[in-house]
Amino acid sequence: MKKLTSIVFPLCALIIMVSCAGLNKTQKGAAIGTAGGAVIGGAIGSIGGKVGLGAIIGAALGGVSGTIIGSKMDKQAADIQNDLPNAKVERV
């Protein structure tokens, strides 16, 4: 459990810092997906006693997923801006 705690707190801090930074959706998705995946993978890995392996696999899968989702969101915003030139696209 101590290993899991040492992974969870730094990754939660990373998520908070990234959400406050001026990054695009692709970059935010990659960082948050990596951190979130590591936490979830570590938690699942702790059940079988392999926290590190679970965190690594979770970080990889979360990072890829977050990058793909963030990229699609950036593309969607660009498409809206191109289709409706006078529209204001807000990233919330």
- C-alpha to C-alpha distances, 25 to 18, 47, 50, 91, nearest whole angstrom: 11, 33, 32, 9
Long-range contacts of 42-45 (CB under 8 A, 24+ apart): 42/3, 42/4, 42/7, 42/8, 43/4, 43/8
Residue 43 lies in a domain: yes
Contact assessment for residue 33 and residue 60, using Cβ atoms and an 8 Å cutoff: no
Opening angle at CA 10, ends 32 and 55, nearest 5: 65
Residue 89 lies in a domain: no
Residue 55 lies in a domain: yes
| pTM strictly above 0.75 | no
Domain span at residue 14 reads 2-83
Q: Return per-residue pLDDT of the chain as tens, 92 residues.
A: 555 566 666 666 666 666 666 777 888 888 888 888 887 887 787 777 787 788 888 888 888 898 898 889 889 888 888 888 887 767 66
The total of other beta-carbon atoms located within 10 Å of residue 85's CB is 6
Residue 79 lies in a domain: yes
Domain count, the chain: 1
